[in-house]
Structure formats: C-alpha cells, structure tokens
A and B are shown apart, each in its own frame.
Chain A
Amino acid sequence: MLYVPIAVLFLFSINSNIILSFPLSGLTLSWYQKLLDSPAVLNAASNSLKVAAGSSLVATILGTMVSILYTRYQFRFKSLLIGLAVLPLIVPYIVLAVALLLLFSILHINRSLMTIAVAHVVVELPYTILIIASRLAGFDEHLEEAAMDLGANYPTTLFQIVIPLIFPAIVSAWLVAFTVSFDEFALALFLAGTEPTFPVYLFSQLRFTNRLPVMISMAVLLMAGTLLLVFISERLQRAK
C-alpha cells in the first residue's frame, strides 16, 4: 500500500496516453525525451538543487556547532538554546512562512531562491542536530583530552580529532537536510520569487493535465537520484 502510489507514478511516466487509465494504451519513453525540450522544468529542478545544496551546507555547519556546544560545554541557558534550535520541528510551517514573509517585506528584501534557502536552513537545523549530537554523545572524550595534553589547542583538536571522527554522522545529517529542502513546498510557496523550486513549479502546473507526464518523469528521475544517494550513504555507514 505504501509503494503502490509510487509505482503508479512510475507507470504514468512511461504510459503513452496523457490520462492513466486501464487498459494501458501503450508504453513509451517519449516523456523523458520531451523533458530535454522543457527548459522551465529543468530550470525549476536546478533551482531546487541550488537551494538544497546551499541550505543543507549551512544547516550542517550550524548543526555541528550546536551539537558540539550541546555535548562538550556546560553553560547557563543551554537547554534554552537547544530547545530553540529544535523548535522549528514543531512550529507549523504556515506560521514560520508568514512570519518570514513579514520580515522580508519589512526589510524590503525581494523574494528569491535565497529567501527560500534561509527558511530551509531554519527547518533543517533540528534534523542535523539530532543526528550529529547523538553521534557526539556516543564517543570517548578521552581522545580529545589526549590531543590537548599533547599540546593541541581546542580548535585544532576539533578539526583534527572530533570532526573526522563524527564525519559519517555529518554526511548523513547533510543528506537528510538536503532531502528535507529538496522536497519542501509549504515554505517555498510563500517565499519563492520569480524563480520557482521544483515543488512550487510542479504545484503551478498541476492544473494542466497535458504537462503532467513530463513533470512526473522529471520527478521520477529526481527520486531515483535521491534514492541512489541514500543507498550509497547507507552502504558507506555500514562499511565502516
């Protein structure tokens, strides 16, 4: 039941008729071919890639910083900071979306891919923290102490010892952040300017039945790409 709709999508992308109904009238790869002549679709997909790549990079860096604070420092208001950083997981996207829309309007910042990416960093951050912090909590702090005893200063210790050790967690945090952004629609719909991301573009095209097959074939390709990434990272983690 979970996979049937996904299978239907795939079927749709190789079906020769615009309307998917039984019996199938024939199979074709022509939708994938038409994709190459649809610059708007390709452009939207590449916008999504840009937003996801940029925002996930920032979110992973910030998430790593918060995780180190969380597991290696004791300070006042610590739980407040962590609570704040994880809160976007719970706050409804519509609330965050309109709040950011207000902020950008008041600052006279035009909506663009950048504004979407900024919002995405906020909602990706909790995921990266959950992944990286649980990894950091699990490993031996004596290694760091040993490095410091041997004369390394704290930043060097972080970069030479800690970061390499938790690197698999950082990579999987980055991957999760990437996919969160890549598929995000609720925030992007409000914060997109003239350049749409793929979900926003897809939403604007849903009404036009004759464009659907091309959109779906693009989506199937993107999905295959993401799945490939996921399986590679899964393999990497298991190989360790």
Chain B
Amino acid sequence: MFNRRVTFWILLLLPLGWLSTFFIAPSLLMGIFSFRPDIEGDLRQLFVPTLAQYANVFAEKSYLRLLGISIGMALIVATVSVLLSYPLAYFLAFRSGKRTRMYLVLLLVPFWTSYLLRVMALKLMFGSEGVIDSFLRYLGLTNAPLDFLVYNRNAVVLTLIYVWVPFSALPILAALQRIDLNLFEAAADLGAGPFNQFKEITLPLSLPGVLASFFMVFIPTVGEYVTPLLVGGSGGSMFGNIIQDFFTKAANWSLGSALSMVMLLVTMVLLFVAIRRVNLRELLQ
C-alpha cells in the first residue's frame, strides 16, 4: 500500500504543479493586475489596489456594448450551428449504415486542416476578386465586385458557423447513438408515424446532446478574437479584440486585465448555467 500512496502523490503533484504554475497563477496575477492603477514603473513593484480600471470598463459604454454584441453574435452562431449540425448528426446516427466511422473521419477532416487557411480560403472564395466573384463575372452574371461578405460582422458570423458545424455535430451524434432503437419499433407498433416518432422519441432524447453542443459553441465564441481579426475588418471586432488591443497596441495592461477579468467572469457564469442544464458526465460515457 505504501507504493500506491507514493504513486498517488507523484500522480497528483506533477499535473497539479503544472496547472498551478501555468494556469492558476497567471489567472490570479491577471486578477491582481486588474486592480493596479497604471503600469508605470516595474511590473513587480507594489501598488495600492484600486477599482479605477473597473470604473473605466463600466464608464465606457462601448466596451459593454461590444460585450453585448459578442454575446449576441455567439448566440446566433451557436443556434445556427446546432440547427445545421442536427440533420448531419441524424444522418450519421441512423442513415449511414456501416460507413458511420468513415463519414465521421471525413467530418473531422477540417479539424486537421489549418484554421487560418480555411478562413482564408473562405475569403478567397467570397471576397471581391475571389473565386465566386470572378466565376460569376466570367459567366457574365455580375459586373460589380461582391463585397458584402468580407470585412464586417456578417462575415465573422458566417465564418464561425462554417468552422463550428462539424464539431457541434459530435455531442448530438453521441446522444442520438444512445437511443434504444427498440423504442422506434414500439412507437410504430402503437401507430406513431415518422413525424410523431421524431417528436416524441428522437427530439427529447437527443436534447442533452443539443444543449451540450449549443454551449460548446456558445461559450468559446463569446471570447473569440482571431476570426474578427481575419475577416472582421474595422467594423467586425468583438470583445476579445479590445482585450488584445490593450495588451498590444494600446499597452494598457491594467485596463486589459480588468476587461479580461470581465470576460472570464462572463465565461464562468455561462459555464455555470451550462452545467446546471447539461449532465456532462453522462455525455462523456
């Protein structure tokens, strides 16, 4: 038993040490920094804590408005992704027969492809002078450049949906695959048609998967900053982009930390809501 106890401490201390140093400590530091009045002088110097940065965050309406917009965009992205991936998951679970595994690998191909390049490919396709644009002009259907799909918020939302759809299908697929097929037979015997079977069996039983999928897309999308950077242009930025600006261009790390803490808080609240709604452990099995 002595062995087992020693092993326990080794197994515990190494991962815990890593997470404490590179996950907990930096988050705490960020919290501490958000109470710092400014970043004059050495980073390590002591300072009198102040709520000034948070006052800034709440005084400047545009920050909170952008946070609201980001949450709204994430809502749209998550809802549409779930709606699009549900039929996909449904097909994989019930209609693909023996080839499910192959389709699943195919579905995940984008996961193995560079994210930056996939986004750029979309830009190459939809942008002015892009594939679709030049093709339409070659056919003589249009003669002005198409520009409504790049460098604005629509572009960010569309790109994010495109990126998320294959992944949001996975939790739904997991839920659908657990449904006992005998239920359908029983329902059919009792006279339920395909629509009623779907409404009474498939939909309710797959709901945990749908919710998991929704939050899986929603929560990270609120904190997104790369996609707006790539296709958003000046009008398409999200809340994550102001944090990025304060840590790079504007170099106001204390205000950046305060904004970042707000984002962390929002994420935690959303996560809390998600955990109350979704039984995560059930989905992992």
Contacts and interface: CB of A to CB of B under 8 A. Distances in A.
A36 interface: no
Interface string B199-238: 0000000000000000000011011111000100000000
A3 B125 contact: no
B91 interface: no
B181 interface: no
B262 to A, nearest CB: 10
Interface residues of A, number: 75
Given A85-B19, A158-B7, A100 B219 contact: no
A15 B76 CA distance: 36
B55 interface: no
Contact of A90 (B23, B230, B257, B267): B267
B192 interface: no
Interface string B257-285: 10010011001000100000000000011
Interface string A150-162: 0001110010000
A98 B134 contact: no
A41 B129 CA distance: 26
B244 A5 contact: no
Contact of A69 (B11, B43, B260): B11
Interface in A164-218: 179, 183, 185-186, 189-190, 198-199, 202-203, 206, 216
B271 A90 contact: yes
Contacts of A136: none
A163 interface: no
B260 A183 contact: no
B141 interface: no
A99 interface: yes
Contact of B260 (A20, A99, A130, A186): A99
Contacts of A96: 23, 26
A156 to B, nearest CB: 9
Interface in B133-183: 133-135, 138, 162, 165-166
Given A5-B121, A106-B29, A154 B3 contact: yes
Given A90-B267, A101-B247, A95 B121 contact: no
B11 A65 contact: yes
Contact of B244 (A94, A102, A198): A94
Given A8-B121, A62-B14, A81-B16, A90 B219 contact: yes
B57 interface: no
A206 B123 CA distance: 11
Nearest to A215: B117
Nearest to B136: A22
A141 interface: no
A29 interface: no
A135 to B, nearest CB: 12
B30 A98 contact: yes
B114 A4 contact: no
B27 interface: yes
Nearest to A230: B112
Find the residue from B120, B134, B253 having the highest chain A CB count within 10 A.
B120
Given A75-B8, A85-B19, A22 B116 contact: no
Contacts of B222: 92
Contact of B8 (A69, A88, A216): A69
Contacts of A101: 247
B53 to A, nearest CB: 14
A134 B285 contact: yes
B165 A2 contact: yes
Contact of B125 (A8, A125, A186): A8
19 contacts: A5-B121, A5-B122, A21-B130, A21-B135, A75-B8, A85-B15, A87-B23, A93-B223, A94-B263, A95-B223, A99-B29, A99-B260, A102-B253, A121-B18, A155-B7, A183-B114, A186-B225, A219-B117, A226-B112
